[in-house]
């Protein structure tokens, strides 16, 4: 394999990459895009693929098409050895997570669903306090693509699981797509209850059994449920995209869903490098957040936080004042609302003035901040696990089920999506992420250069080394590290002192300072000059290697 053509068939745009191996090194050769063609008058997703490939031919000068077909494998210097694709053209995967205990099995079901790229439209549990008829109505009205059912440890009680199965049977929910199909139900609960659940739901639903999500209180096993969700998504949701069956005949490996491929690349890179990573993909309708801490992968989707179709909801959730605090000019609430509502009803427009750009980037800060809060609330350690506690912690029961996202231990933040990847200046993208995520300690900031992480995710299943090389060399652009105090802190007027690269920098407290450094590594020492903790302890000097990127580096000493 010496070349790969990869497409991502999005809901509005099909993006194509040509990746080539030259002298043992894999690099991005060219990129192009074309409108996705799932709607009339075309009704065929493959037309958009061919149009994107034709654009790629024009950009790269390499022949990729012959008689209206892709040239695969490569021959006589034409075409590519493999053709791969990701897709979200069939629409997002909408699921109901159902469990016995809301804080245990139902929460594990949510994590499995979100990790497989689903949008959770409802969570139903036996102990959620709702009456049985109310739960049945919620099942019936939701019209999900599938249901994930969980609960009970292996060998434990069956009664509550069977109650849940009876509710699904009574509701007889219909799938959102394919009205003649049975609703897919994935059972990931107590294995001893499978026969009874089969007797209840076997005829009315497309029932599939996988390994128990919580086989015991102290163990969580999400892989079986995630794989089943992904397979059913490809079979039932993506198949609804016109021309998808034809596209399946073209590819050299299975088509992957866009968010699943994105997460696969982030997880693989984290495991290879040993870094704790937080990645975000902010789109027009949703914002996806991916994290890997201590080898544990979590993905969440904020379904109503985006920069075009959902920007009105960002305005509603954050409020005018929170958006205006990121602006350096005065603006009325009415003017702010009008700019954002125009973006919502005309989602394809781009900012034409400095004011409009600043407002869009301010709204992006709030969308990212709210999405991270949502992610932290779901990326949690297991509830129900026995832990050794100190006497003072016995009264405080919040230690169990705490968030996995520990900002002081975060090594790398990756931003993706139009508002970050296509910001007019890279410094603007860095400042958006710093303001939204408030990193602690020493953290590297990076952006996806041209939105290619999903492409590399599907490539990693075929040629992992090629995906890693392109990811490091062409995909992520390292903006530079940001240095920030950990946790809450108090300070007086003054400054911290940073020594790096033979120079000394006075960093004023209460300000965000950009350090004009050439890209590279510098031996550095930071003297807080206050009781703040930068990772070495309160008030203690920190010695570290400062990694500067295309924007140099940053010191965020603002009070939180």
Helices (H), 216-332: 223-232, 244-250, 258-273, 311-318, 320-324
Q: What is the pLDDT of residues 227-256, one digit of tens each?
A: 888 788 777 767 777 888 899 899 999 888
Q: What is the mean pLDDT of the chain?
A: 88
Q: Quick check: 393 pLDDT over 80?
A: no
Q: Which of 156-160, 191-195, 495-499 has the lowest mean pLDDT?
A: 156-160
Q: What is the pLDDT of residues 53-80, one digit of tens each?
A: 999 999 999 999 999 899 999 998 899 9
**What pLDDT does 117 receive?**
66
Mean pLDDT over residues 386-412, rounded? 58
pLDDT band at 279 (very low <50, low <70, confident <90, very high): very high
Do the domains at 3-89+243-254 and 93-240 have one common CATH topology?
no
**What pLDDT does 379 receive?**
79
373: its two tokens: 């809060």
Q: What is the pLDDT of residues 133-184, one digit of tens each?
A: 998 998 888 888 889 999 888 888 889 899 999 999 999 888 876 666 788 8
Q: What is the pLDDT of residues 316-354, one digit of tens each?
A: 999 999 999 999 999 999 999 999 999 988 887 889 999
Mean pLDDT over residues 277-298, rounded? 91
Mean pLDDT over residues 374-396, rounded? 53
**What pLDDT does 385 receive?**
45
**What pLDDT does 21 receive?**
94
**What pLDDT does 36 receive?**
87
d(CA 15, CA 13): 6
Q: Quick check: 91 pLDDT over 60?
A: no
Q: Quick check: 187 pLDDT over 80?
A: yes
The more confidently predicted of residues 240 and 272 is 272
Q: Candidates 3.30.360.10, 3.40.50.2300, 3.40.50.920, 3.40.50.620; correct CATH number of 93-240?
A: 3.40.50.2300
**What pLDDT does 383 receive?**
53
d(CA 484, CA 451): 28
Architecture category of domain 3-89+243-254 in CATH: 2-Layer Sandwich (3.30)
Q: Quick check: 384 pLDDT over 70?
A: no
Q: Quick check: 398 pLDDT over 60?
A: no
Highest mean pLDDT among 102-111, 123-132, 457-466: 457-466
Q: Quick check: 397 pLDDT over 50?
A: no
What are the phi and psi torsion angles at 165 (to 5°)?
-65, -40
The more confidently predicted of residues 181 and 399 is 181
Q: What is the pLDDT of residues 430-478, one digit of tens each?
A: 999 999 999 999 999 999 998 899 999 999 999 999 999 999 999 999 9
**What pLDDT does 389 receive?**
31
Output Rg (C-alpha) for the chain, integer angstroms.
25
**What pLDDT does 541 receive?**
93
Mean pLDDT over residues 1-18, rounded? 90
**What pLDDT does 283 receive?**
85
The more confidently predicted of residues 180 and 514 is 514
Pairing mode of beta strands 412-416, 441-448: parallel
Element (H, E) at 374: helix 354-378
Q: Where in the chain are the domains?
A: 3-89+243-254, 93-240
Q: Which of 115-124, 172-181, 379-388, 501-510 has the lowest mean pLDDT?
A: 379-388
Mean pLDDT over residues 121-131, rounded? 88
**What pLDDT does 115 receive?**
72
> If you count them, how many residues does the chain have?
560
DSSP 75: B
**What pLDDT does 245 receive?**
85
Element (H, E) at 196: helix 194-201
**HEC profile for 310-362?**
CHHHHHHHHCHHHHHCCCCCCCCHHHHHHHHHHHHHCCCCCCCCHHHHHHHHH
What are the phi and psi torsion angles at 112 (to 5°)?
-65, -45
- Percent of the chain at pLDDT above 90? 55
Q: What angle do CA 463, 466, 469 make, to 5 degrees?
A: 150
């Amino acid at each position: 394999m010496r070349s790969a053509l990869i497409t991502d068939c999005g809901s509005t745009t099909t993006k194509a990459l040509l990746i080539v191996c030259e002298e043992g090194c894999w690099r991005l050769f060219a990129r192009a895009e074309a409108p996705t063609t799932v709607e009339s008058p075309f009704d065929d997703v493959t037309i958009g693929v061919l149009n994107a490939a034709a654009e790629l031919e024009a950009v790269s000068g390499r022949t990729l098409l012959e008689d209206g077909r892709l040239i695969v494998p490569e021959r006589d210097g034409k075409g590519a050895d493999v053709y791969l694709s990701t897709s979200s053209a069939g629409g997002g995967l909408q699921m109901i997570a159902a469990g016995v205990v809301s804080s245990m099995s139902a929460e594990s079901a949510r994590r499995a669903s979100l990790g497989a790229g689903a949008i959770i439209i409802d969570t139903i549990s036996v102990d959620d306090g709702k009456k049985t008829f109310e739960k049945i109505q919620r099942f019936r009205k939701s019209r999900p693509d599938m249901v994930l059912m969980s609960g009970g440890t292996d060998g434990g009680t069956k009664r509550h699981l069977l109650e849940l199965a009876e509710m699904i049977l009574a509701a007889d929910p219909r799938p959102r797509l394919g009205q003649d199909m049975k609703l897919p139900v994935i059972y990931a609960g107590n294995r001893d209850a499978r026969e009874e659940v089969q007797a209840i739901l076997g005829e009315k639903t497309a029932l599939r059994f996988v390994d128990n999500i919580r086989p015991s209180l102290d163990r969580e096993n999400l892989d079986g449920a995630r794989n089943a969700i992904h397979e059913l998504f490809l079979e039932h949701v993506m198949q609804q995209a016109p021309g998808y069956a034809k596209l399946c005949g073209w590819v050299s490996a299975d088509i992957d869903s866009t968010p699943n491929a994105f997460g696969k690349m982030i997880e693989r890179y984290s495991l290879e490098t040993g870094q704790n990573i937080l990645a975000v993909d902010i789109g027009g309708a949703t914002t996806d957040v991916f994290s890997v801490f201590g080898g544990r992968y979590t993905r969440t989707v904020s379904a109503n936080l985006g920069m075009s179709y959902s920007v009105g909801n960002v305005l509603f959730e954050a409020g005018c004042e929170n958006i205006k605090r990121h602006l350096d000019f005065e603006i009325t609430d009415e003017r702010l609302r009008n700019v954002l509502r125009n973006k919502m009803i005309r989602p394809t427009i781009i900012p034409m003035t400095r004011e409009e750009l600043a407002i869009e980037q301010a709204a992006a800060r709030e969308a990212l901040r709210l999405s991270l809060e949502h992610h932290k609330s779901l990326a949690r350690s297991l509830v129900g696990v026995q832990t050794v506690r100190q006497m003072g912690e016995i009264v405080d029961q919040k230690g169990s089920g705490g968030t996995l996202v520990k900002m002081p231990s975060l090594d790398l933040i990756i931003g993706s999506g139009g508002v970050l990847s296509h910001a007019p200046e890279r410094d603007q993208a860095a400042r958006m992420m710093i303001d939204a995520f408030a990193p602690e300690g020493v953290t590297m900031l990076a952006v996806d250069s041209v939105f290619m992480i999903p492409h590399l995710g599907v490539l990693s299943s075929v040629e992992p080394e090629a995906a890693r090389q392109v990811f490091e060399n062409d995909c992520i652009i390292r903006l530079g590290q940001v240095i920030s105090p950990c946790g809450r802190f108090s300070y007086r007027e003054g400054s911290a002192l940073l020594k790096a690269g033979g120079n000394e920098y006075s960093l004023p407290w209460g300000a965000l300072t950009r350090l004009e450094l050439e890209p590279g590594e510098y031996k550095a020492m930071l003297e807080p000059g206050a009781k703040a903790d930068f990772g070495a302890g309160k008030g203690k000097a920190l010695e570290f290697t400062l990694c500067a990127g295309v924007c140099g580096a940053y010191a965020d000493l603002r009070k939180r």
